[in-house]
Structure 1
């Protein structure tokens, strides 16, 4: 067994949060007089820290980006959290990994309080030894910091750990922390984005991931 400790991203890896996140972003942008009718234009917000994407995509100042994050949360905390669904086959993956004696963790840029609520709502909490996310004040939002916090807190040897995620931030964060990575090609990062980061493994589907773990290939 190669990896005893497996870290999962949340959005775009365990669950598909498209509806909730894009609607919350649309709500936030509306508070700044920006109208977006096509929610697909906002899928770039799925994965990276929100402040970062508001700044990059809409040229918000630091203060404006933080105001947008607060507006986003107005919608997300009551409604957007639940406009979400677990990817088909993910429960099978998690059941298999636990049966193999592996330890599972969530490492997400989403505030930990929201991540924990989502996992509990979809009855996924019991699978994970630790859920690590950002703080509500915006600290510890970089994926490298989040992954490192899990490794340090749980005293995990880097040679025994792997990070699974669907965006470049997950793969770069894994590399920065000295652990291997698995690209979830079924999520929101393009194949070009993910392969450019040279992940240790690339899975196009959840089923492909399941088969690989089932065969003890990883």
Structure 2
């Protein structure tokens, strides 16, 4: 039987993560005495690799390691106010929540025999604790992310890495990406010649997913299993 593999992005697809990411980005700029970008630019940080986003704001290669270090410190350490528990602190990574309907969608796809894997440009040592903290790994089969160094940071590299680890065989298996940003669409195509279903509830700008050639769209997490079903129903292993 052919495997039906669904690679699923984390930020903006499984979780609403903007508060923690943006708070940690602001901390990094302030910690390094660099002006904090405007809100529109800050929102663009959600999805792409942090280093690439910082470069796009003009951070020099010389300054980049210090910026990433500051970001990771804020993201991993309890320095932000916990909105649910006044007086307590949280790391940026936990200023986050799973979208309504995600658990149900994952369970429905699992019940149909799909192999589900988180596929994120967030470094694995960050992504795994987040998914475990919010109970996502109980509904997933695997997790693949970026490396802590610069050897695997972009989505195409992560998709290729995931497919390699899964021993994905295009002539024997079927696979699909699900994500909310252009990086997911381009990464799926460039990393392993995969199509991508766009998550409309995420952080894409208007027209972004269409411009990059998304195969289809799910309006809400509840709609996702049906869209994935339709994709695989139209395809057969060669």
- TM-score, length-normalised on structure 2? 0.84
Shift of 1:178: 1.0
Shift of 1:132: 1.0
Aligned to 2:160: 148
Aligned to 1:193: 208
Shift of 1:41: 4.5
Shift of 1:209: 1.8
RMSD: 2.0
State which of 87, 101, 110 in structure 1 corresponds to 2:113.
101
Whether the 8 Å CA contact 1:185–1:191 is kept in 2: the answer is no
Distance (Å, rounded) in 1 between the aligned partners of 2:41 and 2:188: 28
Structure ID, larger Rg: 2
Deviations along 1:153-196, one digit per CA (max 9) or x if unpaired, are 11123360000111111101111111111111211112311101
Deviations along 1:36-90, one digit per CA (max 9) or x if unpaired, are 4975641111110111111112x11112122111100111012101100001111
1:202 aligns with 2:223: no
Aligned to 1:6: 6
Aligned to 1:184: 199
Distance (Å, rounded) in 2 between the aligned partners of 1:26 and 1:104: 33
State which of 136, 142, 156 in structure 2 corresponds to 1:130.
142
- TM-score, length-normalised on structure 1? 0.91
Shift of 1:3: 7.4
Aligned to 2:230: 217
Distance (Å, rounded) in 2 between the aligned partners of 1:3 and 1:186: 27
Aligned to 2:85: none
1:173 aligns with 2:172: no
Gaps of at least 5 residues in structure 1 are none
More deviation, 34-43/23-32: 34-43
More deviation, 198-207/15-24: 198-207
Shift of 1:205: 2.2
Distance (Å, rounded) in 2 between the aligned partners of 1:6 and 1:37: 35
Runs of 4 or more off by more than 3 Å in structure 1?
34-41, 210-213
Shift of 1:145: 1.1
1:111 aligns with 2:110: no
Distance (Å, rounded) in 1 between the aligned partners of 2:175 and 2:226: 19
* Higher helix proportion (structure 1 or 2): 1
Aligned to 2:21: 21
Aligned to 1:80: 92
1:119–1:41 Cα change, 3 Å: same
Deviations along 1:1-49, one digit per CA (max 9) or x if unpaired, are 9971000010001001111000000000002223549756411111101
